[in-house]
Amino acid sequence: MVTNTSGKKKTAVARATVREGEGRVRINSKPVELVEPEMSRLKMLEPFRIAGDELRDEMDIEIHVEGGGISGQADAVRTAIARGIVQYTNDAELRDAYMEFDRSLLVNDVRQSEPKKWGGPGARARYQKSYR
């Protein structure tokens, strides 16, 4: 059985393919163990920590992620992995455990940065005004 899922955070999009295997997790064709920085790697592997590492040995996960920065990509990958595991195992208890731990494991974060407008350096900030 093969399952395709996706995860999004800001402008990062991760697409995951889950299939039977022996526990390989690859991100953009590289093993997850080589992902730097370490905090991103730990964030990406959070779904396995909740589900249990013995579940990881039953499946291979191939992830393609693009867009955004390091942190956004890590969050997108973690959502894609969690969704893939839940869909692959079809386990309602695991889904509830993910939801209880952190809703963003299964639900995309829809927040986007606001576009910059005229009259200031950012979306809301304005340039300073001088009277003298």
Domain ranges of the chain: 3-102
CB atoms within 10 A of CB 123: 10
Q: Please tell me the predicted confidence (pLDDT) of residue 74.
A: 94
* Cα-to-chain-centroid distance, residue 94: 17
Q: What is this structure's pTM?
A: 0.88
Contacts of 58 (CB under 8 A, 6+ apart): 20, 21, 23
CB atoms within 10 A of CB 1: 9
Please tell me the distance from the alpha carbon of residue 112 to that of residue 109, in angstroms, as a whole number: 9
Q: Please tell me the predicted confidence (pLDDT) of residue 103.
A: 86
Q: So what CATH class is 3-102?
A: alpha beta
Contact 64, 101 (CB under 8 A): no
Q: Please tell me the predicted confidence (pLDDT) of residue 40.
A: 92
- CA dihedral sign of residues 47, 17, 111, 38: positive
Contact 111, 35 (CB under 8 A): no
CB atoms within 10 A of CB 57: 11
Please give the chain's pLDDT, 132 residues, in tens: 899 999 999 999 999 999 999 889 999 999 999 988 999 999 999 998 888 878 888 899 999 999 999 999 999 999 999 999 999 988 888 899 988 888 888 998 889 999 999 999 999 999 999 998
Q: Please tell me the predicted confidence (pLDDT) of residue 96.
A: 92
